[in-house]
Amino acid sequence: MITVSIAGGSQPEILTLVNEAKNRFKESLNFVVFDQTEDIGNSDTWEYVHCKDEAEIVQKAVQYVADGHAQILLKGIIQTHTLLKELLKKEYGLKTQSVLSHVAMVTVPSKDKTFLLTDCAMNITPDTQTMIEIVENVKSVAHKIGLDHPKIALLSAAENYNPKMPSSVLATEVTEAFKDEESATIFGPISFDLAISKEAVEHKRFVGPIMGDADVLVVPQIDTGNSLYKSLTLFADATVGGTIVGTKVPVVLTSRSDTTASKLDSLEFAMKQI
């Protein structure tokens, strides 16, 4: 049984998520909700813990995870920065990596493609060391979900080194840092099409360690990632589930604008990381 600690969860959209999750995952999930509002669920839905304010909500929800009672932390209807600030306090010992990052599992049904995408939501313009940490985080996630030797593509506008293109320089430096890595193939710069499309590889006659078969796409900065993430969902009907990683437990950040399906995908992705 996996237990989910929900900070700010006694809300209609979270109730819908919980009910849908119970239908999809049957008896494999248990929910504990921390909130200051009236309990809109019941004992069959979740365990409810009343809090006096938002500060107590995040404190108790995070403490519940830190004490080992829950394996997933889910943000309900509270401020993201409030939850993350509490999560990162040293006394909880929940931060395991120097950099937190966002990892999404993307499925594009029309192309029969599934891959990991990072970092579209946390790190804005990572330098080389930060990018190395982002790659370490996603490599760990890839291993957890069953990819023994993931192919990790460091995206740029082209596959050639160009000193005038920052993403190309960044990808080259990170590739060099992982040149002796044995548990993954980490390569860049490489363009999106060559990373993900065997047809593009054949057309361009490209030869390299990743040839349209990337398991992971790493974007150079958040603008690229955000645009790619939203383009895939809006125009390719992709399903996307994302979590914050670099902590002892996966963290699911939901938004009022997220569909229930998207929230479910994120929860399922978090479950795969346990």
Residues 168 and 254 in one domain: no
Q: What is the pLDDT of residue 152?
A: 98
Cβ(252)–Cβ(72) below 8 Å: yes
| 203 CB-near residues (< 8 Å, 6+ apart) | none
Does the structure show a pLDDT above 90 at 137? yes
Within this chain, do residues 138 and 200 fall inside the same structural domain, yes or no?
yes
> Both 112 and 217 in a single domain?
yes
3-state secondary structure 98-128: CCCEEEEEEEEHHHCEEEEEECCCCCCCCCH
**What is the full DSSP assignment across 122-190?**
S-SS--HHHHHHHHHHHHHHHHHTT-SS-EEEEE-SSSS--TT-HHHHHHHHHHHHTTT-SS-EEEEEE
pLDDT at residue 82, as a whole number: 94
Q: Which domain holds residue 126?
A: 102-239
Query: What whole-number distance in Å separates Cα of residue 159 and Cα of residue 140?
Result: 25
| Same-domain pairing of 69 and 178 | no
Together in a domain, 212 and 256:
no
- Using one digit for the tens of pLDDT, what is the confidence trace for 221-274? 999 999 998 999 899 989 899 999 999 999 998 777 778 888 999 999 999 999
Please state, as a whole number, how many other Cβ atoms lie within 10 Å of the Cβ of residue 131. 26
What would the mean pLDDT of 103-111 be, rounded to a whole number?
93
pTM of this structure: 0.93
Confidence label for 28 from pLDDT (cuts 50, 70 and 90)? confident
Which pLDDT does position 259 carry in this prediction? 84
As for how many domains the chain has, the answer is: 2
Same domain, 156 and 229: yes
Do 131 and 186 fall within a single domain? Answer: yes
Q: Can you state the angle between helices 128-144 and 166-177, rounded to 10 degrees?
A: 60
If asked whether residues 51 and 178 sit together in one domain, one would say: no
Statement to judge: residues 135 and 216 lie in one domain: yes
Residues 108 and 235 in one domain: yes
Q: Residues 206, 165, 139, 260: what is their CA dihedral angle, to the nearest 10 degrees?
A: -100
Co-location of 221 and 178 in the same domain: yes
Residues 6+ apart with CB under 8 A from 235: none
Domain CATH code at residue 255:
3.40.718.10
Do 109 and 227 belong together in one domain? yes
The helix, strand and coil proportions of the chain, stated in percent and rounded to the nearest 5, come to 40, 20, 35
Residue 2 CB neighbour total at 10 angstroms = 15
